[in-house]
Amino acid sequence: MTLRPIDDFFLNKEEPVKSCLQALREILLNYNPRITEEWKYSMPFYCYNGKMFCYLWVDKQTSQPYIGVVEGGRIDHPLLMQGDRKRMKVINIDANCDIPLSEIKSVLDIALTFYK
């Protein structure tokens, strides 16, 4: 059986990043029933009603996972970092620590308002 590229993305990471990304994947997929997972731009994207909502990636400099929030540039939240991005902001995650679930959900709640 051949793995889908999106599954391969998660399975080919080293621990603890692998487990952290898999947990973030579950958090995003269970956050709202209208969120679907898609493989776009060679990365896992999460769409709300077919519109790009957020994505998962691993920072090249820190080797730590993050959630990219598509409408993050419109949100003022201490968890979101702009960096060199124009539209998106990211939630950096430390794979060696507990995932800040309530803070992530808070950001997602705000981001979702731009899609309704």
What are the extents of the domains in the chain? 5-115
pLDDT at 85: 83
Q: Where are the alpha helices (DSSP H) in the chain?
A: 5-11, 17-31, 101-112
CATH 3.90.1150.200 given to domain 5-115: yes
Distance from C-alpha of 58 to C-alpha of 13, rounded to nearest angstrom: 10
pLDDT in tens, the chain (116 residues): 688 999 999 999 999 999 999 999 999 999 999 999 999 999 999 999 999 999 999 999 999 999 999 999 999 999 999 988 888 999 999 999 999 999 999 999 999 999 98
**Cβ-proximal residues to 44 (8 Å cutoff; 6+ apart), any chain:** 6, 9, 10, 25, 37, 38, 55, 56
Find residue 51's DSSP bridge partners: 48
